[in-house]
Amino acid sequence: MKIDGTVVRGDHFSGNIAEIRKFAVMSLSWLTVIFVAVWGVCWALGIFIPMCLANSSFDFAAILSEVCKALTPIAAVLVFIPINAMFMVLMERRALALFTRRNGPNRVGPDGALQTAADAVKLLLKEDITPTGADALMFTLAPIIFFAPSIFGALPLLAAVTNNHKLFQIVDLPTGIFYVLAASSVPVVGIVMGGWASNNKYSLMGGLRSAAQAISYEIPLVLSLVTICLLAGTLDVVSIAYQQSGGLLNWNILGGGALIGLNKAIAALVSSSGAPFAEVMNAYYPYGWLSFVGAAVLCMCTVILFGVYLIGACAEINRIPFDLPEAESELVSGYNTEYSGIKFAIFFLAEFTNLFIVSTIAVVMFLGSGDCPLPTWLNPLSYPAVYEPLAKALSPVLSVLINDLHLINPPTFWAALWVIFKTYSLIFFAILVRGTLPRFRIDQLMDFGWKRLIPITLVIFVLVAFARGVINFHV
């Protein structure tokens, strides 16, 4: 809008509904394709084949069905990663186009929906070049080492995001989050290897920067998750996910369980059948005002921790504003300058998969995993009077799918739906940050990591350790 009130072309708000609709349709159809494909593979491998084998007189039938079941999580991840990376690249490009008032890719397929699929085909068909003077073995190994952790590192999260579905219990570790963090610090080795093996100064600089950055930012990242584990009292991601069920007030981002008592007390007040309000409050907050202060401190601390986690994760996966390892203006393209064809595709794939994994960790650790944000006492679907008629009306259609074929597992379905929604919202936020913030300078990066984030997380860790003493958790 100009000062005199005339509207410049395209400068009025809500003039972009068509593009937003295209973005939404593209995202929803891609998500449907991804998760139908992934669940189809899981179901075929983990449920359908064992079901067929159950009645056979074949000798190895039992062993074969067990093998199939055991391979399901791996198959799920292997199917998921490439399709998801294609979608995320497309989503990023379309979303950035929205933010910068462009159209984005709109040529291949309907509204450009197949652009990244075409890109993938192009990358796979390209010549695979190893530069002269490069260490061929290391050069080839680097993308593999970079990519491998995103396959095996995220496995423990599968059980947490599917509400502990029986197919994925096999990958549920008692020290799940520890394993995930350990695995997620491996890729930096791949980056340094790639940078060194390329025989290129820019690649080497990129690799070294990446190592420095990963070391600096892993500390606040891990400290923030450790603090959450301290509050939860466990390292098992499934337990952490379960502790947060029951609505927004139970989530770790709001006090890490400090508000569970409040939630229960309000639930008692609303239902007016259980224990009285004051009694529940006393059970959870035994020290009066001191407990309330503790709860307030915990809420504040966990919100800050969530922010620290997001910042640390952004730096860990080399995303803007922390993309110094591939700063185009200084380092051409950083550690993957010399890579082309399929090796470059693997680097690319791993980067976007890492973004997805850190978002999933944030969802599991902070945002209640597959939990509906509405508190149970506010959610109409949690009252039998509402959901029983609904269930009865739908049962003739769904019972075949649920009980006979096991194609739909309602608890897993809803949990997965919420996880998908939350994770992709976080990814969208990461894209928004990418569209907004300029890149850090290397000294600012180190300053911010060592002199700001690490002290903050340490102070919060101590605060939380004391504050949790005045509240009863998970009784």
Partner 1 sequence: MFNLIGSAINGVKHALGGLYQVKRGLETVAMHTWREPTTEAYPDKAPELPPHFRGRLALTVNPETGENLCISCRQCERVCPDKCIEITANKSTETNKLELIDFKIDHGLCMFCGLCTEVCPTYCIINTNDFEMADYTRSSLIYDLKKLTLTQEESAYYFAAKEMPLPKPKPAKPAAPAAGAAAAKPAAEAKPTATVSPKPAPESAKAPETTADKPAKEVEKKESPSTDTPSVN
Q: Shortest approach of partner 1 to residue 436 CB, angstroms?
A: 4
Is the CB of 70 or the CB of 432 nearer to partner 1?
Answer: 432
Nearer to partner 1, 107 or 201 (CB): 107
For residue 139, the 8-state DSSP code is H
Residue 432 binds partner 1, judged by CB under 8 A = yes
Which residue matches tokens 């202060």?
293
233 interacts with partner 1 by CB under 8 A: no
In degrees to the nearest 10, what's the CA dihedral of 316, 317, 319, 323? 70
Q: Does 436 bind partner 1 (CB under 8 A)?
A: yes
Least CB distance to partner 1 at residue 185 (A): 27
Which among 61-69, 254-262, 274-282, 428-436 is the span making contact with partner 1, rule CB under 8 A? 428-436
> Which stretch, 14-22, 163-171, 195-203, 229-237, contacts partner 1 (CB under 8 A)?
14-22
Q: Is 6 in the site for partner 1 (CB under 8 A)?
A: no
CB nearer to partner 1: pick between 286 and 455: 455
Other beta carbons less than 10 A from residue 52's beta carbon: 11
Site size for partner 1, by CB under 8 A?
23
Would you give the binding string for partner 1 spanning residues 86-125, x where CB under 8 A is met?
A: -----------xxxxxxx----------------------
CB of 80 to partner 1, least distance (A): 28
Residue 112 beta carbon to partner 1: minimum distance, rounded to whole angstroms: 13
Pick the piece of the chain touching partner 1 (CB under 8 A) from 58-66, 81-89, 400-408, 435-443.
435-443
What is the secondary structure of 170-239 as a DSSP string? GG--TTHHHHHHHHHTSHHHHHHHHHHHTT-HHHHHHHHHHHHHHHHHHHHHHHHHHHHHHHHT---HHH
How far is 470 from 258, CA to CA, in rounded Å? 10
Q: How far is the CB of 426 from partner 1 (least distance, A)?
A: 14
Six token digits for residue 277? 């309000």
Cα–Cα distance between 317 and 361 in angstroms, integer?
A: 13
Return the sign of the alpha-carbon dihedral for residues 302, 229, 156, 410.
negative
CB hemisphere CA count around 397 (13 angstroms): 5
| Residue 11 touching partner 1 (CB under 8 A) | yes
| CA dist., res. 250 & res. 258, Å (int) | 8
What residues numbered 239-278 form the site for partner 1, per CB under 8 A? none
CA distance 258 to 368: 14
- The alpha carbons of the chain give a radius of gyration, in whole angstroms, of 25
Residue closer to partner 1 by CB (options 98, 357) is 98
**Contact present, 146 and 350 (Cβ < 8 Å):** yes
Closer CB to partner 1, residue 19 or residue 351? 19
Under the rule (CB under 8 A), what is the footprint of partner 1?
Answer: 9-16, 19-20, 97-103, 432-433, 435-437, 452
